[in-house]
């Protein structure tokens, strides 16, 4: 039986945060896979893995992970914003605009408001 317990999962999660900060998103994903396997309901781990997928340019896995987070937390402005960035990067501007606007409506941060482009004539 592998040495896997809640303490090692916390350690792996924190290490994954550090790897992502150090621009090693693939290493972060690898660590988070075991955490999520043991705790599939852990939204924070899923959000971190989605960010790592995005940073590794794995857009489809990032999209799926961000969507799962939003199913559980539909008012998570950051997840909407990050999903919008994922759609934008994938060349899907209409889907991106919808999530940029949801993010800005949920949390009117300047970055979210700017990306939402509410002042566009076609709004």
What does the pLDDT read at residue 4? 72
**Sign of the Cα pseudo-torsion (14, 43, 36, 20, in order):** negative
pLDDT along the chain (123 residues), means of 10: 75 97 98 95 97 98 98 98 98 97 97 90 49
The Cα–Cα gap between 53 and 86 comes to 10
pTM of this prediction? Answer: 0.90
What does the pLDDT read at residue 122? 53
DSSP-derived secondary structure for 8-20 = HHHHHHHHHHHHH
The Cα–Cα gap between 94 and 99 comes to 9
What does the pLDDT read at residue 123? 45
The Cα–Cα gap between 101 and 55 comes to 22
Q: CB-hemisphere CA count at 13 Å for 93?
A: 2
What does the pLDDT read at residue 71? 98
What does the pLDDT read at residue 3? 64
What does the pLDDT read at residue 100? 98
Q: CB-hemisphere CA count at 13 Å for 46?
A: 22
What does the pLDDT read at residue 118? 87
The domain segmentation of the chain, as residue ranges, is: 1-58, 74-123
């Amino acid at each position: 039986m592998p040495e896997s317990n809640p303490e090692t999962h916390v350690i792996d999660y924190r290490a994954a945060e550090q790897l992502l900060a150090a621009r090693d998103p693939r290493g972060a994903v690898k660590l988070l896979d075991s955490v999520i396997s043991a705790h599939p309901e852990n939204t924070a781990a899923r959000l971190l893995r989605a960010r790592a997928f995005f940073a590794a340019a794995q857009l489809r896995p990032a999209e799926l992970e961000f969507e799962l987070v939003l199913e559980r937390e539909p008012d998570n402005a950051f997840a909407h914003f990050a999903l919008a960035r994922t759609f934008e990067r994938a060349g899907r501007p209409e889907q991106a605009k919808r999530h940029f606007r949801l993010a800005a409506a949920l949390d009117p941060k300047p970055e979210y408001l700017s990306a939402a482009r509410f002042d566009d004539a076609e709004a």
